[in-house]
């Protein structure tokens, strides 16, 4: 297993943020017990979240603190007796009064904690949402890159396969240049001398109109034989199996093809050598 690729897949972030499902979490915990680099990656991401939270913490509004301390100051002023030299009296503090004031101070402290806690909860909620959005965006981008890579790999494999096929010594290559008046056209037939399968490469053929389609013909003993329709394919297109032919030609026919070629719509023609 490629541990580095697994760590970079985004599963660590999903797990720490609580977004991984039960199966993913169980798999990660099992792998973390076996691989110290996975445990280090989990601890590193948790530490980065904590550091980010501390660095960007948002304190409660300053007027809340001022108001709370003002209230506490008034409470202290109301409960502490005023002394003068001439009328100094000892005022006993009853147990009931002591408990009452204590609970007032405790309530004020609770309000402070509640305000701070609410502020922190709001901050972390926003940070979690931001992190979740960024993680989803990264995962979407990651999936898009993987899909593109698979598409490119498929195209490369097709190109490689076509090159192997065209370079096969069993293939008979029939070049079909444009006929008079249509010299800018070119196509090539690759005819398997063993299987008799026919492949067509449209080197230079204009895009067929929406209601038209190119059709390949094999000239057998002076008569045209349908060799298949050119569909939307990239590179080398496999058409029909032709046992024997002296030449090949392409005409532009109505969509779906024609039982006989439209001669004034012929574009390219080439003879089979040998």
Does one domain contain both 159 and 205?
no
The span from the CA of 206 to the CA of 204, in Å, is 7
Instruction: Give which of 66, 87, 91 is closest to 79, Cα–Cα.
Output: 91
Contacts of 119 (CB under 8 A, 6+ apart): 58, 59, 60
Give me the mean pLDDT over the 210-228 stretch.
95
CATH number of the CATH domain containing 239: 2.60.40
In a domain, 119, yes or no: yes
> Looking at 163, 190, 216, which one is the last position of a domain?
163
The span from the CA of 180 to the CA of 265, in Å, is 12
28-37, 106-115, 177-186, 191-200: least confidently modelled range? 106-115
In a domain, 90, yes or no: no
The pLDDT score that the predictor gives to residue 88 is 47
pTM, entire model: 0.45
126: left (phi over 0), alpha (psi -120 to 50) or beta: alpha
In a domain, 262, yes or no: yes
Query: Per-residue confidence at 246, pLDDT binned at 50, 70, 90?
Result: very high
Does one domain contain both 213 and 237?
yes
In a domain, 71, yes or no: yes
In a domain, 89, yes or no: no
> Looking at 114, 131, 163, which one is the last position of a domain?
163
Query: What is the residue range of 18's domain?
Result: 3-55
Say if residue 35's pLDDT is above 80.
yes
Rg of the chain, C-alpha, whole Å: 41
The span from the CA of 237 to the CA of 232, in Å, is 9
Q: For 81-127, what is each residue's pLDDT tens digit?
A: 444 444 445 445 444 444 445 555 556 666 666 666 666 776 777 77
Does one domain contain both 158 and 175?
no
**DSSP symbol at 232:** S
Q: Which residue has the tokens 């990656």?
A: 41
In a domain, 224, yes or no: yes
In a domain, 19, yes or no: yes
Query: Per-residue confidence at 190, pLDDT binned at 50, 70, 90?
Result: very high
- Report yes or no: 151 and 136 within 8 Å, Cβ to Cβ: no
- Report yes or no: 262 and 217 within 8 Å, Cβ to Cβ: no
pLDDT averaged over every residue in the chain: 77
In a domain, 203, yes or no: yes
Q: Which residues on adjacent β-strands are paired with residue 197? A: 241
* Number of structural domains in the chain: 3
Measure CA of the first residue to CA of the last residue in the chain; give whole Å: 56
CB atoms within 10 A of CB 261: 21
């Amino acid at each position: 297993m490629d541990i580095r690729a697994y760590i970079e897949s985004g599963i660590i972030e999903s797990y720490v943020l609580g977004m991984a499902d039960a199966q993913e979490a169980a798999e990660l915990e099992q792998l973390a017990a076996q691989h110290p680099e996975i445990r280090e990656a989990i601890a590193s991401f948790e530490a980065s979240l904590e550091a980010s939270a501390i660095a960007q913490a948002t304190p409660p509004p300053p007027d809340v603190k001022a108001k709370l301390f003002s209230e506490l100051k008034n409470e202290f002023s109301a409960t502490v007796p005023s002394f003068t030299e001439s009328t100094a009296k000892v005022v006993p503090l009853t147990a009931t009064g002591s408990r009452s004031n204590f609970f007032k101070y405790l309530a004020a402290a609770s309000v402070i904690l509640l305000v701070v806690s609410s502020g922190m909860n709001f901050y972390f909620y926003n940070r979690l949402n931001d992190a979740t959005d960024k993680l989803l965006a990264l995962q979407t981008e990651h999936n898009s890159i993987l899909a593109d890579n698979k598409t490119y790999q498929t195209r490369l494999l097709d190109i490689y396969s076509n090159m192997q096929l065209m370079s096969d010594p069993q293939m008979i290559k029939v070049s079909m240049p444009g006929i008079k008046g249509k010299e800018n056209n070119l196509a090539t037939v690759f005819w398997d001398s063993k299987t008799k399968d026919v492949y067509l490469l449209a080197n230079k053929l204009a895009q067929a109109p929406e209601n038209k389609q190119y059709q390949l013909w094999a000239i057998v003993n002076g008569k045209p034989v349908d060799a298949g329709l050119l569909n939307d394919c990239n590179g080398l297109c496999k058409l029909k199996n032709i046992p024997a032919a002296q030449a090949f030609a392409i005409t532009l026919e109505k969509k779906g093809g024609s039982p006989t070629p439209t001669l004034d719509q012929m574009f390219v023609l080439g003879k089979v050598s040998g």
